[in-house]
Chain A
Amino acid sequence: MGKETLRNELLKDLSDAVVDMDEDKAKETSQRVLDEGLNAYDAIINGLAAGMVIVGELYDKHEYFVPELLMCADALYAGLDILKPHIKPEDLGQNAKGQVVIGTVQGDVHDIGKNIIKMMFEVAGFTVHDLGRDVPLEKFVEEQMRTDSDIVALSAMMTTTMMGMKKVIEMIKEKNPNVAIMLGGAPVTKDVTELFGADGYAESAGNAVQEAIKMISRLREIHK
């Protein structure tokens, strides 16, 4: 089998492992990627992450629901744990220095969507500073300044806690207008994102995957 054919086969297996929620298959295939001397980063992005994009689409089509999404994420992490130590710095480019502050705003303890976004940033090679859930608003500002992160990702599941996001965005943009702000959560819409002065949004766990990828691509273009 030619190397390209083998690559394509293993990438598909990785993607399928994520879509099929198959942690064992994700581990075995990831190990095979390494054994065959294939590129780990390529396997993560075009195999595992590509599978997660399909999962996001299945969620939006009501074929998958949150339990399935979480199981798919577990399969992705099972592969990522094996492949990540073998990523070459040159593969990551600017993302090697990329940093994200992420958390669920104060008053909100829902963190499933936040954890999905966190995973996608980890997949892309970012260093993620996860503040957890129920995070006081000023903590986001402090952590962004401490780490000089490129992105602050805020999550809120409830309309009422979403209002706290506006304050955080104002505080961060005042100190550093170049920070990209991403909002996520059920009540977040395009209008809210524009009104609050944020740079990206994800209204469901499904489109969080796509939106994270879009934002990462946009940052890559900015960094070129």
Chain B
Amino acid sequence: MTDITPKERIKRFFHREPIDVMPVFSGQGMVTIQAIEKMGIRFAQIHTSAEYMARSAMTTAEMFGFDAVIIPYNMCTVPEALGRGASLYENADGILYPTVPSKWKTLDDVKIDSDFMTKGRMPLVDDAIRILKSSSNGKFAVGSWVLGPFTMAGQLLELDVLLKGLKKEKEKVEEFLSKMTDLVIEVARHYQDLGVDYMNIREMGSGTDIISPRMWKMLVLDNLQKVFSALRSPKVLHICGSTDMIIELMNECGADALSVDQKNDVVESRRKLGNDVLILGNFDPYGTMVQMDVSGAESVIKKCIDDGVDAVWPGCDLWPEVKKENVEAYVRTVREYSKKASPAVGRI
């Protein structure tokens, strides 16, 4: 490794300029239990304190040698600000991510207050981003993410109402998705204005395990194109689950990079998209970092690189209860095994 800072490495990476080694970062949560325990707090607390949110991200990055920090950690901040609540499971035994307890029951219930950005924990996330920007001293890149319009819709409206509505009340659903698109742009632009170094749009509920490629083209593609045309670079599109059938459509959305999970056939995706597209992925974070032994984890990371990703990203949030030695193996393997250029990014 040269004296390029992690932040500079990621900046060059997204510009597809030569770098020394592959950066280790993600567009999803990367907080670990080792960092949380070092801070002497519990998992549930990192969602309700800007200081804890920022420090847990920073502590994890320092502990394992990541190139970036990324927040927030849960998908309920916007729904909560729109009055849908958030179950934080503060008294649960193990780790449980917050969920949305009261989604809208019908499309007629949808009401988006213009001041939602000031409600719930939205200001807390803003503060956490500010803390990270000031405390990382320009060393780490600061990333953030927002759910994509379709996935945000499913977080706010009962999913069966949304999915059946796609067929039964198409115009009303389209109107709702259009509102979601504006909302996603507002939140993502706001985080960009706060200075995040890269933005990931997680349209995770739109894989073809759920909707058909035809419906994706009709209801997801246009809205994502609007989102990405409204955002500054670097900007990433992440979809988990089955993406083989829509990978080419994903590439039409206007993102600088595409992130996929372990269900994607990256070799085939690379063949379809060519070597100019940044592909990020695609290991199963739970299986690889929690369940496997070190040698298994190393093999998975090497396979991601061999298959042709430009950076090895977990397919979802890192599950906090990772094995320390597996995360260390992840970072070590990426650094050692990625000395030669990846398909879209050269080496110094």
Is B92 a contact of A65 with CB atoms below 8 Å? no
Task: Indicate whether A12 reaches chain B with its CB closer than 8 angstroms.
Answer: no
Q: Is the interface of B mostly helix, strand, loop or mixed?
A: loop
Determine if B97 and A160 form an interchain contact, defined as CB atoms under 8 angstroms apart: yes
Range class of the B interface residue count: 20 to 34
Residue of B nearest to A167 (CB): B93
Contact (Cβ within 8 A) A115 B160:
yes
Whether the Cβ atoms of B211 and A67 lie closer than 8 Å is yes
- Quick check: B101 and A134 within 8 Å, CB to CB? yes
CA separation between A108 and B92, bound complex, in Å? 13
Partner of A106, one of B92, B212, B245, B284: B92
Query: Cβ of B208 and Cβ of A62 under 8 Å apart?
Result: yes
Given contacts A65-B212, A67-B211, contact A112 B94 (CB under 8 A): no
Q: Which residues of B contact A160 (CB under 8 A)?
A: 95-97, 286, 319
Q: Is A70 an interface residue (CB 8 A)?
A: yes
Q: Which residues of B contact A134 (CB under 8 A)?
A: 87, 99, 101
Asked whether, in the complex, the Cβ of B160 is within 8 Å of the Cβ of A70, the reply is yes
Cβ-based interface call for B167 (8 A)? yes
Can you offer 16 A-B residue contacts whose CB atoms are under 8 A?
A65-B211, A65-B212, A65-B215, A66-B211, A70-B163, A71-B167, A74-B164, A107-B89, A134-B87, A134-B99, A159-B287, A160-B97, A160-B319, A186-B209, A186-B241, A204-B209
New contact pairs (18) apart from A65-B209, A66-B211, A160-B97, CB-CB < 8 Å: A21-B167, A62-B245, A65-B210, A65-B211, A65-B212, A65-B215, A66-B210, A67-B163, A67-B164, A67-B166, A71-B164, A71-B168, A74-B164, A108-B99, A112-B159, A134-B87, A160-B319, A186-B241
Q: What residues of chain A have their CB less than 8 Å away from a CB belonging to chain B?
A: 21, 62, 65-68, 70-71, 74, 106-110, 112, 115, 134, 159-161, 163-164, 186, 204
B-side interface residues toward A, CB under 8 Å? Answer: 87, 89, 92, 94-97, 99-101, 159-160, 163-164, 166-168, 208-212, 215, 241, 245, 284, 286-287, 319
